[in-house]
Amino acid sequence: MAVNVKGVWLGIKYAVPVMRERGGGSIVITSSTAGIGGTPEMSAYNTSKHAVIGLMRTAALEGAPDGIRVNTVNPSPIETRMMRSIEEMRVAAFDDSTVTVDVAKQAFADRIPLQRYGNPEEVARMMLFLSSDDSSFCTGGVYMVDGGRSAGSR
């Protein structure tokens, strides 16, 4: 909670006055698909990501009159060290030598309609778009980079 929520709140708190002085700008916050649903055994993480979305929506409403846009990018499983750690935790939860990190990874990927993890560059491209003037009419949005995961599970 200290990083996922308080860190975001502090970033907004100190960025907004500077952005106001400069006539506006864009704040892009990383949340997660966990911020729009639930995941067993990850209640604290899910709660923090839901809180980030609520914080973003409030900041978007407060910042709009000053030309400050605020959005979240919500990735699903992405090829990162964090996902590798989650896969390893899932393997450790089983007392079964047939469950490997690769098996855990495939189980996660199987729930994504595009059948794969995303890569960091795909998330970065969405963040770049939301940071740019090309997204000048976008604020208060929850932007999914999730291979279709938010549409439903396979």
Which member of 14, 45, 117, 143 is catalytic? 45
Answer whether 20's CB lies under 8 Å from 78's CB: no
Beta pairing partners, 144: 74
Let me know if residue 20 belongs to a domain.
yes
Q: Would you put residue 53 in left (φ > 0), alpha (ψ -120 to 50) or beta?
A: alpha
| 103: DSSP letter | H
Let me know if residue 23 belongs to a domain.
yes
Give the mean pLDDT of 101-130: 92
Let me know if residue 98 belongs to a domain.
no
Domain that holds residue 21: 2-78+117-151
Let me know if residue 90 belongs to a domain.
no
Let me know if residue 122 belongs to a domain.
yes
Residue 143 catalytic? no
Q: What is the spatial distance between Cα 131 and Cα 115, in angstroms, rounded to a whole number?
A: 28
Q: Which of 43-47, 75-79, 109-113, 132-136 is predicted most confidently? A: 132-136
Q: How many domains does the chain have?
A: 1
**Any idea what the CATH number is for the domain that residue 8 is in?**
3.40.50.720
Let me know if residue 102 belongs to a domain.
no
In total, the chain counts a number of residues equal to 154
Single pTM value for the model: 0.89
Report the alpha-carbon angle 116-32-126, nearest 5. Answer: 75
Percent of the chain with pLDDT over 90: 64
Instruction: Judge whether residue 148 has pLDDT over 80.
Output: yes
Cα Rg of the chain (Å, integer): 17
Let me know if residue 99 belongs to a domain.
no
